[in-house]
């Protein structure tokens, strides 16, 4: 049974938490709207998250360095934006919220556990975050991981320039009868 002191402390903590959520809501809304804007697939916040996560998810299939790596990052960022643009409006909103959550520093640290900005985060930190989300007890985090995974891998393997790395000759040519 709660004592009166515990009840008051819990009430104060809840009020502080609600106030913090209200303060953080405006930057999160703004970041979500900026993260995925139709016709602007290369938004910096989207690009930062994708270009940090893609090499970790793709590991050995991804170019290690040089102009090939930069070109691959560009193609993945465009491919993810294109894939998100093909989703329903509700799914686009959810993906925008996911990217806003990951792009906004306080929520990135709290939810993903990545303290450095995406362009400075180590592969080990990103891999740790992805593993935690993949094996989380919370279905919401598992869904977030699955969305990131499917968007990145879908963008990578939909790109004909990545097919040579896996010896895929491309889709069969349809013959009209």
User: Model's pTM, two decimal places?
Assistant: 0.74
> With a cut of 50, which residues of the chain have pLDDT below it?
34-40
Directed axis angle between helix 67-85 and helix 44-58, to 10°?
110
Domain-wise residue ranges, the chain: 38-163
pLDDT of residue 19: 61
**pLDDT (tens digit, 9 = 90+) per residue, 67-87?**
888 899 889 998 998 888 888
C-alpha 130/C-alpha 158 separation (Å) is 22
């Amino acid at each position: 049974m709660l004592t009166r002191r515990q009840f008051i402390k819990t009430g104060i903590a809840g009020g502080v938490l609600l106030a913090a959520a209200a303060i953080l809501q405006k930057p999160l809304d703004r970041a979500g709207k900026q993260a995925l804007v139709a016709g602007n697939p290369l938004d910096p916040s989207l690009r930062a998250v994708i270009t940090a996560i893609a090499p970790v998810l793709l590991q050995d299939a991804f170019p290690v360095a040089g102009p090939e790596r930069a070109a691959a990052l560009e193609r993945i960022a465009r491919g993810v934006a294109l894939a998100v643009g093909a989703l329903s409006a509700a799914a686009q909103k959810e993906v925008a919220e996911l990217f806003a959550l990951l792009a906004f520093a306080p929520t990135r640290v709290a939810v993903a556990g990545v303290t450095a900005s995406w362009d400075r985060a180590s592969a080990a930190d990103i891999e740790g975050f992805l593993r935690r989300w993949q094996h989380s007890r919370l279905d919401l985090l598992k869904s977030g991981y699955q969305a990131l995974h499917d968007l990145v891998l879908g963008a990578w393997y939909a790109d004909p320039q990545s097919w040579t790395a896996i010896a895929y000759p491309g889709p069969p040519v349809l013959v009209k009868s």
